[in-house]
Amino acid sequence: MARLKLSGLTSRRPFTLLGIVLAVLVIVAFVLVAISASAGQSSGEQSVVVATQDLSPRVPIEAAALQIKSIAVSGFPPSVFFHKIDDVKGMVPLVTIVSGEPVTTNVIAKPDAALGSQSEYLPIPSGFVAVQLPTSEQQGVGGYIQPDDYISVIATVSVNGKVAAKTIFTDIHVIRVGPMTPANSPASTANASSLTVVVTYCQAEFITWFLTYASLKYELESYHDYNPASAQNKNPNCPGVDSARGVTLKDVQAAYPSLF
């Protein structure tokens, strides 16, 4: 009888070992699946450039409005995302980008590029306006005036046989040279016929008078002497658009008596 029992145990041992092996294989397979799933989830996230505030169309993006954040990007081509803030800084949104959204290649464009029927806003400080000055090689320092330069304006007036010249404005900020060019068109300032400058409302009226009744030439200031703070200081007598009351010959004579 003892031999019979021992024989029965011996005959079941292969099945017991097989069950253990199968259980181990199932556990190993489960672990591998879990690791694979975890790896798949982690590979679906990337560190990309995200807006930290709402970004409005036509307004160049500042670095302070961006951050790098890890988000799930599975299902999107990697090429639509940016991974460096410097690659986005200064670009212009085509549509409103909501805070927390990633900045992608299809919603921004380079400055001066065509944005549908619009372009980016010109960098005009509050309380100022942009006006256009005619220029040429001799009038505009041989074409060396570039955007972000600062110029002085000399007016020459001829009245009753008397000719006089005087610097009427200094530290005038040039923001564009020549007309706006379409997207992907090469921009050239060598033969530009106009300068877009930023001035106060009252300065704009005086410039209009001098453009009509005098001749103007420009001086390119040394970059060592550039004074952006001075260029953006508002005239206390002309703080806004409501301050511009018009300019007559009498006003010009009072402001620049040495010209007359």
pLDDT of 61: 92
Rounded Cα distance between 251 and 236, Å, is: 17
What residue ranges in the chain does DSSP mark as E strands? Answer: 45-51, 66-72, 92-93, 108-109, 128-134, 150-159, 162-177, 194-200, 215-220
* Other C-beta atoms lying within 10 Å of the C-beta of residue 88: 23
Query: Is a pLDDT exceeding 60 seen at residue 30?
Result: no
Decide: helix, strand or coil at residue 3: helix
Residues 137 and 244 placed together within one structural domain of the fold: yes
Residues 194 and 89 in one domain: no
Q: How far apart are CA 108 and CA 175, in angstroms?
A: 22
Q: Determine, yes or no, domain membership for 116.
A: no
In the predicted model, what is the mean pLDDT of the chain?
Answer: 81
- Judgement on whether residues 143 and 248 belong to the same structural domain of the protein: yes
Q: Are residues 65 and 93 in the same domain?
A: yes
**DSSP letter, residue 238:** B
For residues 87 and 147, state if they share a domain: no
Q: Cα 68 to chain center, whole Å?
A: 18
Clarify whether residues 167 and 84 are in a common domain: no
Domain-located, residue 79? yes
Contact criterion met (CB below 8 Å) for 200 and 127: yes
- CATH (domain of 65): 3.90.1210.10
pLDDT of residue 184 exceeding 70, the answer is no
Give residue 45's identity as a one-letter amino acid code: E
First to last CA, the chain: 139
> Could you give the count of Cα atoms lying within 13 Å of 124 in the half-sphere of its Cβ?
17
- Whether 19 is in a domain gets the answer no
Residues 172 and 230 in one domain: yes
Q: Is the pTM of this model over 0.85?
A: no
Q: Is residue 117 part of a domain?
A: no
- What range does the domain containing 97 cover? 45-109
Where does a domain end: 56, 82, 109? 109
pLDDT at 41: 45
Q: Which residues of 119-136 are buried (b: 16+ CB within 10 A; e: fewer)?
A: bbeeeeeeebbebebebe
Higher model confidence: residue 60 or residue 231?
Answer: 60
Split into its structural domains, the chain has a count of 2
78 with 170, same domain? no
Summarize pLDDT for 36-78 with one digit per residue, the tens: 544 444 457 889 999 999 998 888 899 999 999 998 877 778 7
Amino acid at 49: V
- Residue 64 located in a structural domain: yes
Pair (94, 207) in one structural domain: no
- pLDDT digits over 90-131, tens only? 898 988 999 999 999 988 988 766 555 566 788 888 888 999
Domain shared by 198 and 233, yes or no: yes
Judge if 132 and 255 occupy the same domain. yes
Please check whether residue 119 lies inside any domain of the structure.
Answer: no
Q: Assess whether 154 and 71 both reside in one domain.
A: no
Judge whether 174 lies within some domain.
Answer: yes
Residue for token pair 């390119």: 220
244 within a domain of the structure (yes/no): yes
